[in-house]
Chain A
Amino acid sequence: MTTRYVLVLAGILTLVGLAMFIYKWQVLGLPLDPAQETPTWTVETTISFDSGPGSINVNLQIPTLTPGFATLDEYSVSRNYAFGLNYVGADREAQWTVRRADGAQTLYYRIIVYEDPASDQSDMTPPLPIPPVITEPFKTAVDMVVADVDEHSADEGSFTSVLLRLFNNPSPNPNVELLLAEAESRADFVQTITTVLASAGIPARIVRGISLQERQRQVEPVPWLEIHDGDRWRYFDPSTGDEGLPDRFLVWWRGSEPLVRVEGGSNLEVRFAVQRNYVDSLDIAEHRAELKQSRLLDFSLFSLPIETQSVYSVLLMIPIGALIMVLMRNVIGIDAFGTFMPVLIALAFRETELVWGVILFSVLVSLGLSIRFLLERLRLLLVPRLSAVLIVVVLLMLIISIVSHQLGMDTGLSVALFPMVIIAMTIERMSVVWEERGAGDAMRAGAGSMLVAIVAYLAMGMNWLEHIIITFPELLLIVLAAVLLLGRYTGYRLSELTRFKAVIGR
């Protein structure tokens, strides 16, 4: 009956722990690997112009909906200017204003983005109003092109593809030639396409974005085509007619608005620069959790002050040590002093390193033991004797530190990190066992404690494990479940297989 409760409880704990772990890992993207970093791109827009006599008003189109990317941060650098963000429909504009300025002016806008496949937000803005007014002789040309393409296509998507292929034909027909006569740039080309699409009853607009590379100084926004098929917006490559966006393409702004409008200035120049950086994946995950309005990470370890975090990075490993302790005791059956003494010693080993830890600990305990035997002769009462041992332990630690420092071995200094009360108790327990049960038993239990401490140290010292536990503390629920299950383990301990061999041996 009890076993069933334990099974159910352990099952629930495991499920909760696993569910939280998987959510944080898969959905929020918390990294399993401590060294994992996520690339981010910083895109910097530099606006330079000469100031005019009056007040200056600068408007810059900035990214709003960026499929495939999420914004980590954005800010502007602009001395003396008032800076603000304006929402124009579904788009955003950065606006700088100043009453007066002298000479050449430079304004910066920076946005930091990271790749986020989940950020496929689609534009909910309604299709653009149609139809456009087109004058002759273009109207006839457009009508003929539309009629021609219509014959070869089934829906809005294929219409757009066919149209683009027709316009990109190296030997265009006269109608296309006429329509493209005044298109000087790729942007004009896409603009013309949108007009033709509009005449065909398909809402379309020009999209401009930046192709993100590792490091670029001068980047030109690339025009792209976006059409609405009555259901959603779709992207098309204006030079091939293929659907989709290029890789790592940060959509900057949509529509035929100019990138920058400057009132009260002249000689406008706009430059884009791209720089790739790497940011700790954890920061990205936290940011993503914020975007998803997940409260989970608000309650994570990372919301604590740094010093507290480092304390917990040690504390959270103690359950692992406790689990090792349970395994060593109840499954393997190793004798050790004190229930958690080995775990605390293992914690001290974290600071001293293993070999030095073992040496220092052995030296400390054996010195303490010999002095404890001397104290025995003085016939002190129990509590004063324990206190005397404690004081001796502290003095020994001091002496070891000083001597090793003089010898130029600074590792000896870390002896101060040993839990002295635990050591004093260990010495006392060991001496009692020594007297009552003999040196053999005392040594065996001492060696057992050391063994457990070493195993616990090795387990608690695994970097990836520490990272995983700190990032996903809910996994401790699974550790708890394991300990509960082990609490109902009624099988033989490994050591009992040898111990009771005599029973079956006869």
Chain B
Amino acid sequence: MLRTRKLLRESGVLGLNERNAEFIMRMNPRRLYPRVDDKELTKKLAIEAGMPVPELYGVISNQGGVRRFSDIVADRDSFVVKPARGSGGDGIVVIVGRSKRKKDSYRLASGLLVSGAEIEHHLSNIVGGQYSLSGNPDSALIEYCVHFDPLFADVSYQGVPDIRVIVYRGYPVMSMVRLPTRTSEGKANLHQGAVGAGIDLSTGRTLKGVLGNDVVDEHPDTGALIPGLYIPRWDFILQSSARSSEVTGLGYVGVDMVIDKDLGPLILEMNARPGLNIQIANACGLSHRLKRIDEIFDAAADPSTRAKVARQEFAAERQGTLALDESD
């Protein structure tokens, strides 16, 4: 046990306690939390900063507003319902289309049909605060449903794969793509069985995947190869992520993005307490990279410079924890 502990230390694996005490509490002032905890506010700030986000169709902020649901989505076939202050992807419902026969029936990503009344009940739950971080009344966002890039079609099962970038003091330090599986029920959450694959920061190319604690090369449902995919517009993704520190004021933040086939990378949300599974997906600890940023931190650097520095510093090869064996 002590040996494992020592090995983890050496690999620079960041633990929850250390993340909370040394990074979140130190770098993320509590008063700035609403900027990322409230997705409506995040969206507003991102738009002001010129960052691309999924279009917001409407906000339902009280019980009375639930009735407006059918008007909001009247001429939309696909959309996403999510709680403004949800956590960990809870309470998100993705509607990909409508039933041909019944206008009031919506098709979930899984193919199941749900009635408008069921969605309205879900909206009530969101507004009532069932999914909010604090249990307080919340509001529900109805927004554009991302049509994800065909690049990922082979490596995801229903749902939308998303890209998570950890940004420390404005510098991207680690990244991964989360691929939904049958077990995760279309959700891009590693905890629920989605596949996580690290991304080489310097090239934007995916590394080996991780399912639970196992290393996988192939997507468990589609069988497609996971490593070696090049994420499109990688530089843009890194620059947008880097800009998050100016937008949120947070020093340690996880930026979640999706790639729309028409609109390109869009910022879904930001997280003041990003999870640590990204270390497993990258087979690399965060600590060394965070320390490196502390060494080279330059307050004057602009987001594109910071993104460039990150690409130079954190190439997967240079970390010495090569997940992708070049010989095969």
Which residues of A pack against B, CB within 8 Å? 330, 333, 379, 381-383, 432, 436-438, 441, 487-494, 496-506
Stretch in B40-48, B72-80, B122-130, B219-227 with 4+ CB within 8 Å of A: B122-130
Stretch of B28-36, B231-239, B279-287 with 4 or more beta carbons under 8 angstroms from chain A: B279-287
Residues of B within 8 A of A488 (CB): 21
Cβ contact within 8 Å between B16 and A333: yes
Across the interface, do A490 and B8 meet the contact criterion of CB distance under 8 Å?
no
Partner of A492, one of B17, B213, B214: B17
- Please name all residues of chain B whose beta carbon is closer than 8 Å to the beta carbon of A497 when the two chains form the complex: 1, 4-5, 8
- Is B22 in the interface zone, CB < 8 Å from A? yes
9 nearest A-B pairs in the assembled complex, by CB-CB distance: A382-B128, A379-B121, A490-B18, A492-B15, A504-B7, A436-B90, A497-B4, A502-B213, A500-B13
Q: Within 8 Å of chain A (Cβ to Cβ): is B63?
A: yes
What residue in chain B is nearest A432 (Cβ atoms)?
Answer: B130
Binding site of A, secondary structure by majority: helix, strand, loop or mixed?
helix
User: Which of A379, A491, A503 is in CB contact (< 8 Å) with B284?
Assistant: A503
Are B15 and A496 in contact, with the CB atoms below 8 A?
yes
Residue of A nearest to B124 (CB): A381
Closest to A330 in B: B17
Contact call A492/B21, Cβ cutoff below 8 A? no
Q: 8 Å CB contacts to A: which residues of B194-246? A: 210, 213-215
Q: Which residue of B lies closest to A384 (CB)?
A: B128
Q: Which of A432, A492, A506 contacts B321 (CB 8 A)?
A: A506
- Nearest A residue to B1 via CB reads A497
Contact of A501 among B121, B192, B213, B276 (CB under 8 A): B213
Interface: B323 (CB within 8 A):
yes
Q: Is the CB of A502 within 8 A of B210?
A: yes
Q: List 17 A-B contacts (CB under 8 A).
A: A379-B118, A379-B124, A381-B128, A382-B124, A383-B128, A436-B90, A438-B192, A487-B21, A490-B17, A492-B5, A493-B17, A497-B8, A501-B4, A502-B214, A502-B215, A503-B280, A506-B283
* Best-surrounded residue of A333, A487, A492 (most CB of chain B within 10 A): A492
Instruction: For chain B, residues 89 to 130, give those with C-beta under 8 angstroms from any C-beta of chain A.
Output: 90-91, 117-118, 121, 124-125, 128-130
A489 to B22, CA, bound (A): 10
CA distance A499 to B15 in the complex (A): 10
Contact B15 A490 (CB under 8 A): yes
Query: Of the candidates B13, B16, B22, B124, which one forms a contact with A503 in the assembled complex, judged by CB atoms under 8 Å apart?
Result: B13
List, in ascending order, chain B residues with CB within 8 A of A498's CB. Answer: 213
Taking a contact as CB atoms under 8 Å apart, the answer to whether A503 and B4 are in contact is: no
Residues of B with C-beta under 8 A to A494: 1
B11 is an interface residue with CB less than 8 A from chain A: yes
Q: How far is the CB of A52 from chain B (nearest CB, A)?
A: 88
Q: How far is the CA of A496 from the CA of B8 in the complex (A)?
A: 9
B261 contacts which chain A residues (CB < 8 A)? Answer: none
CB-nearest residue of chain B to A428: B130
Interface residue B291 (Cβ < 8 Å from any Cβ of A): no
Are A506's CB and B215's CB within 8 A? yes
- The 8 A CB mask of B315-327 against A (1 = contact, 0 = none) is 0000001010000
Q: C-beta contact mask, B52-73 vs A, less than 8 Å → 1, else 0?
A: 0000000000010000000000
B292 within 8 Å of A (CB atoms): no
Chain A: CB-nearest residue to B89 = A436
A383: B residues at CB distance < 8 A: 128
Whether A491 and B191, one on each chain, are in contact in the complex, defined by CB atoms closer than 8 angstroms, is: no
* B93: min CB distance to chain A, Å: 11
Q: Given A381-B63, A503-B11, A504-B8, output 5 extra A-B contacts at Cβ < 8 Å.
A: A382-B128, A490-B18, A497-B1, A501-B213, A503-B284
Q: Given the complex of chains A and B, what is the CA–CA distance between A463 and B213 in angstroms?
A: 43
Chain B's closest residue to A498 (CB) is B213
Q: Contacts of A489 on B, CB cut-off 8 Å?
A: 17, 21
